[in-house]
A and B are shown apart, each in its own frame.
Chain A
């Protein structure tokens, strides 16, 4: 039988992207700039966390070693999380959070649509729902990028600062690990490089309206896919894992 390990690893790394970004977004709940956004941001976070559960659930099912979604989500060491660095960045201001969400959603929507055309059958079930959820994230966050970019002098400056800070992390969206390549070769997953032009175009479209330009990125920031995280990540894990680490082996 074919070795499923590479596919399981990729499922977990995608699950990590969704868990960590959902976790970051959830930090806003109760602290948003306006009450309406106190509802919008948790909606997006709930979508992401729901997808994380799907991905982890599928991974542990394939793995068939008795691990649960929570074992994967809460009980690994930092090196074992394989999320891209962008999603673990501290939230920063509203401009940073919204832009990061936009970048991620714009990529994942293309990813899922590509899975729908040609990919693993079970993933196609997740993809149908996820691509709709992400279409909304793109629209909502895109509207905000435009408003902040074309709002006041202060908001434009903050929006630009967010682009400068986060754009270097976007290359990692397209990184292909050996496990990922294995899945591409097996027809389970799309090749990220083929999504690049469309992703660039959706970013460009919003940036144009927002009076933003895509910066040159001489030094892309990558490392999450191989488990090499930023300083912020350990702190995130110390919150995320607090209960499971302080009271091991219990049912909640």
Chain B
């Protein structure tokens, strides 16, 4: 869980310029432009060689452009709070639709951390199957043709689960998955009076899943044809079994490993008939 020495070295380099402020690692926009300039100047170079921030198992990734201090410290939010700052607002910056050329009226399900799957699915399934919302774009007969699930941070898992449930229930849906970082702007205000205010930009990983009853472009990265429920694993195993046979890792003395091993062997033989590319 601790940071490597490389990062620490980088940090010491970085710290002196910033030593006054306790909030290393955050790119802070204060009213003082000079100070801000220093931070902005040092950050990018510094971060270029260090890696990600997810020191804690916290799911929210704290930013690319900002380097968190390599401390086994409590999460950043808590720390800011301890320093006498209070989060006053949090806005998600508008990002363009990840699916260019999508009709504007497509149902977008924004999955949040606290969203209930039954609520989301109840709504989305009704729209996809039923005849409600007849005027919505992308309609033709039995329900909507397309739906987009988006979620970020801790809601990513839930978003995928929703999409998976819908694929299973509706069947023969084409899927397009896009990943990207989403920028979240947070404004923190000092609690000890004074007009000190900070704006923190942090980036959070987010996912967008487009499910469509109509075919989508199979060349697009992240496309998944319908009914690849379990085929995904098998197919991948098959594709380059050559490299797989080359890679022999000792299987643990696991009760199930026997089965897995058998399977691999069978696959390897089967593939001699169908030559891998």
Q: Do A and B come from one complex?
A: no
